Amino acid sequence: MSKNIVSVIGLGFVGFPTACILADKENYFKVIGIDKNIKKIKKQKINPFLNNSNLFEDKALNKICQRAIKKNKIYFTDDIKNIQKSNVVIVCINFDFKINKFKKLKELKIFFNNLAKFLKKKSMILIETTLPPGTCDKVILPTIKSALKKRKIKITDIYFSYAFERVMPGKFYAKSITENFKCFAGMNKLSGIKCKMFLKKYINHKKYPLFQFNNILDCETAKILENSYRAINIAFIDEWTKFSFDNNVNLNQIIDAIKVRKSHNNIMRPGLGVGGYCLTKDPEFINFSVKKIFKKKSSFPITNSSMKINRNMIFSSLEFIKNKVKSLKNKKILILGAAYKDNVSDTRESPSITLLKELSRNKIKSVLHDPITNTNDNNKYGILNYLPKFEKFDLVLFCVKHDFYNKISLKKFKKKPIYFDLNCVLDKRQINFLLKNNFKIEVLGGK
């Protein structure tokens, strides 16, 4: 059987595990891993795996990566020329507007223009990067078409597809790639067929059937809509959270009662805020699409105001704390959890870090703890991996529902800090222990 030579470009949270998973299927694939920051990838990922470190919370993925890297199954490089022999080129580079919308778009055009210089005939580009709807048809495909034309290659001599990623770093990181409902679309019928054949080789499609869209625009839009839906859901509960602490209403209990209805069971809980790379940027993409790609006038007032609410959500928690403590002056605060969500080490756009910065801006002393964040982040934000003694602090804020915090045994001691649960972290047993031992415990949304 002839093997597919697959290049994976962009070896971040999506691309690195994808490259390792494909390399692990050595009967099917030979893998080339390409990243512009290959030195950083070597230092942060490749070398640790060579030295038997386990980088991820997912044990299965650690094993897959160790097999792939120790047995030299991936050729790593920063040179895009290496795609020349590839049958499939997967693109998982990051794309966001943090710097400048037009600069980013220009960079994207340069990237695809360069890629098309080395692409061989009959190969397939598969884009996994989340993009503003319309980017493939209106920006990427015209760029590739004109670069190929210079090589006297027609666009129909290659295959082009889009399949957004739904990966979730954490305990089931690998499975979130191989055992997840994958959506895709091709630029034409043949591209759709090729893409489907490729995805079937590493995705458990019998259990998680592939979903094919009629066109790429619909597929790009699906990703933005699904993330906007979640961001709006989170923003929605924030106004009820404020109502709950202004009026002493037990929102958590109300949500328990609502959640029993199947049609309402994805209502969100009160929390510290929205973090992570995707929910904090993807809903913004639609504004760019309508204005700059489609040049239309549609507006997205609900999405936009939700994004604004989500950006300011930590201030609801701060208000809640201030209501209970009156003044934070001279208080020593311990923030528990630095990652943006439970049981992951990813700190991108983490609300806990925003909270830390806000407290420090107000000259309030606080210490951040997380059991699983990596050395780089620990150094950058001064995160402690060991748990300091709670009695040294005036306020202990539970902010991330890592399993670790549910396993710690809360001890009795004389000097009692005030505990705050800002993200539904503590379970009933822990809350009862604190109450029984006369600790003050305040729960956002009510106990």
Ligand X SMILES: NC(=O)c1ccc[n+]([C@@H]2O[C@H](COP(=O)([O-])OP(=O)(O)OC[C@H]3O[C@@H](n4cnc5c(N)ncnc54)[C@H](O)[C@@H]3O)[C@@H](O)[C@H]2O)c1
**By the criterion CB under 6 A, which residues form the site for ligand X?**
9-15, 34-37, 92-95, 111, 128-130, 165-167, 169, 277-278
Of 311 and 447, which CB lies nearer to ligand X in the complex structure? 311
- Among residues 93 and 124, whose Cβ is nearest to ligand X? 93
Listed in order, strand segments (DSSP E) in 189-326 are 211-212
In the complex, least distance from residue 401 CB atom to ligand X, rounded to whole angstroms: 18
For ligand X, the closer CB: 93 or 399: 93
Q: What residues have CB less than 8 Å from 77, skipping those under 6 apart?
A: 32, 33, 34, 38
CB of 88 to ligand X, least distance (A): 16
Q: What is the distance between the alpha carbons of residues 387 and 41, in angstroms, rounded to a whole number?
A: 29
Q: CB of residue 72 vs ligand X: minimum separation in angstroms?
A: 21
Closest approach, Cβ 352 to ligand X, in A, equals: 18
> Which residue's CB is nearer to ligand X, number 104 or number 447?
104
- What is the nearest approach in angstroms of ligand X to the Cβ of residue 281? 7
CB 130 within 8 A of CB 94: no
Q: Read off the tokens for 435.
A: 């109450």
Q: How far is the CB of 10 from ligand X (least distance, A)?
A: 3
Longest CA span, the chain: 79
Q: Which is closer to ligand X, CB of 270 or CB of 275? A: 275
Judged by beta carbon, residue 173 or residue 393, the one nearer ligand X is 173
Instruction: Count Cβ atoms below 10 Å from residue 99 Cβ, excluding itself.
Output: 9
Gap between the Cα atoms of 259 and 257, Å rounded: 6
Nearest to 185 by CA among 223, 139, 228, 142: 223
Q: 33 vs 271, which CB is nearer to ligand X?
A: 33
Tokens found for residue 202: 């590493």
Distance CA 389, CA 148 (A): 63
Full DSSP string of 108-161: HHHHHHHHHHHPPTT-EEEE-S---TTHIIIIIHHHHHHHHHHTT--GGGSEEE
Cα gap 19→112, rounded to integer Å: 20
* For ligand X, the closer CB: 169 or 417: 169
CB closer to ligand X out of 114 and 188: 114
User: Which residue is at the shortest CB distance from ligand X?
Assistant: 12
- Edge to edge, the sheet with strand 395-398 lists 383-384, 365-369, 332-336, 395-398, 418-421, 440-443
Nearest distance in Å: CB 292, ligand X: 18
What's the min distance (Å) between Cβ of 252 and ligand X?
28
Cα–Cα distance list, 162 to 31, 69, 220, 223 (Å): 19, 27, 8, 11
CB-nearer residue toward ligand X: 130 or 310: 130
Closer to ligand X by Cβ: residue 68 or 328: 68
Residues whose CB falls within 8 Å of the CB of residue 383, separated by 6 or more in sequence, listed in order: 338, 347, 368, 369, 370, 373, 377
Instruction: Name the minimum Å distance from CB 329 to ligand X.
Output: 39
Token pair for residue 322? 């201030």
* Cα–Cα distance measured from residue 275 to residue 272, given in angstroms and rounded to the nearest whole number: 9
In the complex, what is the shortest distance from the CB of residue 121 to ligand X, in angstroms, rounded to a whole number? Answer: 22
Instruction: Answer yes or no: are the C-beta atoms of 356 and 381 closer than 8 Å.
Output: yes
Whose tokens are 């379970």? That residue is: 427
Q: How far is the CB of 276 from ligand X (least distance, A)?
A: 7
Residue 67: φ, ψ to 5° = -60, -45
